[in-house]
Structure 1
């Protein structure tokens, strides 16, 4: 037996746990995990002594901004950040221009990924055109996405065509999606409650980062809790697998925990800002650059608890870049600012830093970034695990390297990160996609047409039979 690549001397984190072993790669797939020192000829060897050998992150919530908003980022620049951040598979979002709502727009987006992405990819279209849902499913998508929100004072980042607020329409969508077997990602939001709550803040002139943060967390997060209760009940009624974005309150986490116990097929995600960028001090010092949302201390404690006990299944970045100009207006007119923060480049390392700090178990962290998103989004056996036969999507990380995140290292077009100046204790040193280096020693080395559609094993076989 000979292989293309042997990674030696490291601690390989498998779905069953970490092992001291050598990892073998052949034809772009994991070919074996063997005792260190086993004599197996290899065309190339990487020494990972003292390092962790990890599966690449499967990030199911990424805003690439292409087409329509390429001044913020595009597919290529997002994939640069992904490669540097250990993300080997990224799923794009539909809030584009035009929004991804049908086979035609999805075909265009797929073409753009094929021409531009360094890492593997998929895309979550909006299922707001019922007669397009089945056709988009047949193209190999793994999920759909909608927002239960209408923007106040702006028409972005939730453009027309990506939102559903009527509960009857939401149930009808779930009935359609249930027939495809795909997962339904929902940005939860109770619009009627938010209109009332926002109106009170704006009437008092509190159009500031502090006012915005307080409004979205008002009454212990009532806008999130009521919306998530509706989604869970409709998921039960329809049999549609659902995925809750932006989990951030104690009641919502408890509701998801109960739903799982009752057999409802629900997953939920924590975005980088909830555990790492959501304190009141962040709101006061970084203002619009920290928003997304404020998570009060009690809710943040519940988030960490949910991460540790498995109620929160998945870590997804919600990478949402905006320019400084689009953020700066928020100091005095926060409801006119574009909310969201960049996150894909540093989320994996922040999770590993949390492991070093004892805030999260290593296996739980890897489950959240890789094992579970792959399994729950139909890529089990293909992506997200260092298991024989899976794609050799590999990250080599040093958990003893202390370094400081700075704006100078940002690969996004926007040129800033809310983590500028933060010192952490874990560093990704190498990223491979299907056994090929795409990031080595602070340099992205991958080719911009290397990324491929991250399809399920069944879809791969079907596409191969069709000659695609």
Structure 2
């Protein structure tokens, strides 16, 4: 068994306990697990990766990443985005259908995206498709091909090639997806008319926040719940920022509506009150809201109303942000953060009593399940992919530009000190990132697919 590798840690994270364990890996899969031991004397030294007291847990799954290639590769690309992910302990990302050109709204466009990504991915990559006006008839073919699900916008997406859909078009798409086990993701904001005036200063964050009130999310989520309940198709709210929507979400979930929810690191880590004038690196849609709202989001994460915490990594070229120069109403709305999600969550969550098992549930199991990847990702189970992160929850570091792997370095986290440092990232049983360096000159990542009749066939073309 020449390719057998054994990972041993005195702090291995399982759903029911954190304990010493030996995890043996072969052919990229978990071969067997022995708990309550660190005895590896039956293995040769070159087979053993001894993690000591560092935490060993499933690799992070970030199901909300905008890679932007092809078409806007100057904003981001598969090489840089997946390197950043690996450096942050992420072993699987799921790429959003925009802002690439073409967007992933047909089988042909998806094949073009996979061709662009091939041989560039440092971690495993799954794909979301998109729902736009007129493409409902394309959805089942993409489901068959193993697309992880679909995303739509109920408001302008920010890019013209990915138009938003109205209620009738959403219902048409949901009816197409009925019986497929797929999921429709919603950017849940609706246009409610102007909420600012010419007197509101555009350089102030308060003006931008006023332009995207919570009501926009409330109106949209009410529609999503109605259609989800009517069609019985899984629906998912991406990047929830409005705590005022939580009561209707809780009520829907309590009566069995197939509605899941995510929020993002920036909503849990950053506060509107702390954002300076023209600090456009903080701009995203929906916006970062006030501290009172943030605490209610944390409560919803704690009680399970929100099941996932993801990055919504949405970078752009610096000229579309120009922090300190450009005003909030003109700048691109998106936050670059994929590399630091684990540390961001742990820095704030550990102070609120969240555990390592909570990290796995919210940042591994939840996102993998949403993308229909739970049969192979996000758990330390025999037969699952041997994807791990090895990290020190007690170690702090300060973010500087030199350590950032994503292509454009404009991020609100520059200079911030975070708790929880990644030491190793393991993909398919191979250490790909080790003590701040990549161990190979070539990417090791693969495409991953949701179950489908022809899952992955197009990836081999």
TM (norm. structure 2) is 0.92
1:56 aligned residue: 59
What's the offset of the Cα at 1:206? 2.8
What's the offset of the Cα at 1:172? 1.2
1:314 aligned residue: 308
Superposed, 1:246-395 pairs within 5 Å as 246-281=239-274, 283-284=275-276, 287-292=279-284, 293-328=287-322, 331-395=325-389
**Does 1:210 pair with 2:205?**
yes
Distance 2:33 2:184 in 1: 35
Q: Tell me, yes or no, if the aligned pair for 1:317 and 1:344 is still in contact at 8 Å.
A: yes
Q: Tell me, yes or no, if the aligned pair for 1:274 and 1:300 is still in contact at 8 Å.
A: yes
SS at match of 1:180: coil
SS at match of 1:345: helix
1:397 aligned residue: 391
Deviation string 1:89-138 (CA, Å, 9 cap, x unpaired) is 11111122222210111001112222311110111121221121111112
Distance 1:41 1:328 in 2: 54
CA RMSD of aligned residues (A): 2.3
Which structure is higher in helix share? 1
Q: Tell me, yes or no, if the aligned pair for 1:149 and 1:163 is still in contact at 8 Å.
A: yes
Using a 3 Å threshold, how does the CA distance of structure 1 residues 460 and 45 change in structure 2: closer, same or farther? farther
Using a 3 Å threshold, how does the CA distance of structure 1 residues 460 and 444 change in structure 2: closer, same or farther? farther
Q: Tell me, yes or no, if the aligned pair for 2:260 and 2:307 is still in contact at 8 Å.
A: yes
Deviation string 1:70-98 (CA, Å, 9 cap, x unpaired) is 11211110011011011111111112222
**Does 1:89 pair with 2:92?**
yes
Q: Tell me, yes or no, if the aligned pair for 1:15 and 1:371 is still in contact at 8 Å.
A: no
Q: Tell me, yes or no, if the aligned pair for 1:114 and 1:449 is still in contact at 8 Å.
A: no
1:412 aligned residue: 406
1:29 aligned residue: 29
Moved more, 358-367 or 309-318: 358-367
What's the offset of the Cα at 1:448? 4.7
1:154 aligned residue: none
Using a 3 Å threshold, how does the CA distance of structure 1 residues 74 and 448 change in structure 2: closer, same or farther? farther
Superposed, 1:149-298 pairs within 5 Å as 149-150=155-156, 157-164=158-165, 166-191=166-191, 193=192, 195-197=193-195, 200-201=196-197, 203-218=198-213, 221-281=214-274, 283-284=275-276, 287-292=279-284, 293-298=287-292
Distance 2:347 2:30 in 1: 27
Distance 2:5 2:194 in 1: 59
Distance 2:390 2:223 in 1: 41
Q: Tell me, yes or no, if the aligned pair for 1:127 and 1:173 is still in contact at 8 Å.
A: yes
Distance 2:442 2:418 in 1: 29
Using a 3 Å threshold, how does the CA distance of structure 1 residues 215 and 433 change in structure 2: closer, same or farther? same
Q: Tell me, yes or no, if the aligned pair for 1:241 and 1:265 is still in contact at 8 Å.
A: yes
Q: Tell me, yes or no, if the aligned pair for 1:3 and 1:40 is still in contact at 8 Å.
A: no
Q: Tell me, yes or no, if the aligned pair for 1:114 and 1:451 is still in contact at 8 Å.
A: no
Count residues with an aligned counterpart. 452
1:67 aligned residue: 70
Using a 3 Å threshold, how does the CA distance of structure 1 residues 329 and 394 change in structure 2: closer, same or farther? closer
5+ unaligned residues in a row in structure 2: which ranges?
none
TM (norm. structure 1) is 0.90
What's the offset of the Cα at 1:2? 8.6
1:41 aligned residue: 43
SS at match of 2:130: coil
What's the offset of the Cα at 1:362? 2.1
What's the offset of the Cα at 1:375? 2.3
5+ unaligned residues in a row in structure 1: which ranges?
152-156
Distance 1:57 1:13 in 2: 13
Q: Tell me, yes or no, if the aligned pair for 1:81 and 1:345 is still in contact at 8 Å.
A: yes
Superposed, 1:422-441 pairs within 5 Å as 422-441=416-435
1:137 aligned residue: 143
Moved more, 413-422 or 356-365: 356-365
